[in-house]
Amino acid sequence: MSLQRKWQIAEPPPPGFRLDLGFQTSGIRGPLPARLLWNRGVRNDKDAAQYFASGLDDFLDPMELPDMGLAVDRISKALSDSETFGVFGDFDVDGLTGTAILLRIIRSLGGKAIPYIPNREIDGHGMSKQAIDSFHNAGVNLIVTVDTGSTAIAEVAHAKKFGIDTVITDHHLMETERPDAVAIVNPHIGSKEAVGYSGAGVAFKVAQALSKNAGSTFPQELLPLAALGTIADIVPLVSENRALVREGLKALGQTELAGLRALLDISRPPGASGRPTAELVSFYIAPRLNAPGRMGDAEPSLELLTTNDVSEARALASRLDADNLKRRSLSEQPLGARIKTIRYEF
C-alpha cells in the first residue's frame, strides 16, 4: 500500500519583485531571499525591515483580540471581589508556560489562583468534568483556561451548574457551536488572517491587557515564558510572534525567575554560552519541560515555572533533567522491553 502525498507549493512572488534588504542578507544575493520572505508575508521594504528588527514596539494592542474586553472585565471583577481562580492548562510546554503566565499575573495583582494540569494517563487532553469537580470542591468561582477550551461545551455547562464562570483563552480552531463561556479569547474567531499565536502567546496578551487595565507596567518578566511556548508549539514566526520570540529570548538570558534560571543552567550543553537561541529551547529546554508530563504528571514542570525559591527551583530542574534522561532511555528501548517496564511499574 503506497501513501499518496500531495505537495502544496507556495505561490512565487510576481515577476520583478525585489526587496532592498541591505546588510540583512549577510551577503546573500539573487532572488532567493526575496522569494523566501515573500512566502512569509513580506511584501515590501518596510515589511522586510520589521521582519528582521521587530521588537517591543511591534507588539499589537491586546484589546484587538476577540472577547478580550469581556475577559478583562470578568477577571478584574474576580480580583476586586476576592474570588478564587481556577487556571486549567494543557500538559505540553505551550500549555504549561501559558498557565504559568496567567498564574503569575493573577497572583501579582493580588488574586488567589489554583492550577489544574491534567494527567496524561488519567485525564487525557482537554477539560474534564473531573477537573471542574476539583475546582468546585476547592471553592473556585472563575475558571480561566489556557491552550484549550474552545470545544469544551459540556465541561463549561457543567461548571455553570455550580455557578462557576469560565473565561477561555485558546488558539485552536473553533467548531460551529461555542461553549457558553463569559469570554472566548481566541484569535481565530471572526478573523481569517489572525496572528497565529500559541496558547502561551494568547495568555501573554491577556496578561498584557490585565497589566494595562490595572495601570501596571508591561509584563516583560513574562516574555521568556511566552517565547518558550511559542517556539515549542512550532507556530509560524511571523508578525508579532517573531517579535515575541526575539524579545523573549533576549529576556530569557537575563531572567530573574528562579525556575527559568535553574532550567536554563541545567539545559545548556557543555561549553555553550551567550544569548539563548530557539535551538536551545527546541532541543534542550522544551524536552525537559515536557518530560514529566510524558511520564504521566506534568505538575513538577509547572511548579518550576511558578516558584520564586532558588533552592526549590534547582531541585525541580534536577528532577526534570532526570525525568528527561529516563524518558529518552525508555524511548530507545525495543518495544518488548518497554512493555515489560510498563507492566512492572503499573
Q: Which DSSP string do the residues of 297-337 spell out, in sequence order?
A: --HHHHHHHH---HHHHHHHHHHHHHHHHHHHHHHHS-HHH
Distance, C-alpha 114 to centroid of its chain: 18
Q: What pLDDT is attached to residue 39?
A: 84
Q: What pLDDT is attached to residue 334?
A: 62
Asked if 111 and 78 count as a contact pair (C-beta separation under 8 A), the reply is yes
Residue span of the structural domain in which 271 resides: 62-329
Backbone angles phi, psi at 35, to 5 degrees: -70, -40
Position 124 in a domain: yes
Q: What pLDDT is attached to residue 24?
A: 52
Residue 211 host element (H or E)? helix 199-213
Position 21 in a domain: no
Tell me how far apart the alpha carbons of residues 52 and 58 are, in angstroms, rounded to a whole number.
Answer: 12
Tell me how far apart the alpha carbons of residues 322 and 303 are, in angstroms, rounded to a whole number.
Answer: 16
Q: Is 98 helix (H, G, I), strand (E, B) or coil?
A: helix
Q: Which residues of 322-333 are buried (b: 16+ CB within 10 A; e: fewer)?
A: ebbeebeeeeee
Q: What is the pLDDT along the chain (346 residues), one digit of tens a residue?
A: 456 677 888 888 888 787 776 655 444 556 777 788 888 888 888 888 778 878 888 899 999 999 999 999 999 999 999 999 999 999 999 999 999 999 999 999 999 999 999 998 888 888 999 999 999 999 999 999 999 999 999 999 999 999 999 999 999 887 778 999 999 999 988 765 567 999 999 999 999 999 999 999 888 999 999 999 999 999 988 889 999 999 999 999 999 999 999 999 999 988 777 889 999 999 999 999 999 998 889 999 999 999 999 999 999 999 999 999 988 887 776 655 555 555 544 4
Q: What pLDDT is attached to residue 193?
A: 58
Position 35 in a domain: no
- In the chain, at which residue ranges do the beta strands (DSSP E only) sit? 84-89, 112-116, 142-146, 165-169, 183-185
Tell me how far apart the alpha carbons of residues 328 and 310 are, in angstroms, rounded to a whole number.
Answer: 27
Q: What pLDDT is attached to residue 103?
A: 99
Q: Is 121 helix (H, G, I), strand (E, B) or coil?
A: coil
Position 68 in a domain: yes
Hey, CA dihedral for 306, 237, 167, 109, is it positive or negative? positive
Residue 226 host element (H or E)? helix 223-232
Position 37 in a domain: no
CA dist list (Å): 150 to 7, 133, 286: 30, 19, 25
Position 180 in a domain: yes
Provide the 8-state DSSP code for 180.
-
Q: What pLDDT is attached to residue 3?
A: 60
What is the dihedral angle through the alpha carbons of 36, 40, 45, 48, rounded to the nearest 10 degrees? -90
In single-letter form, the type of residue at position 282 comes to S
Domain count, the chain: 1
Tell me how far apart the alpha carbons of residues 215 and 122 are, in angstroms, rounded to a whole number.
Answer: 41
328 CB-near residues (< 8 Å, 6+ apart) = none
CATH number of the CATH domain containing 305: 3.90.1640.30
Asked if 118 and 92 count as a contact pair (C-beta separation under 8 A), the reply is no
Provide the 8-state DSSP code for 89.
E
Q: What pLDDT is attached to residue 53?
A: 79
Position 84 in a domain: yes
Other Cβ atoms closer than 10 A to 192:
5
- 111's grid cell: 488574586
Tell me how far apart the alpha carbons of residues 68 and 184 are, in angstroms, rounded to a whole number.
Answer: 8
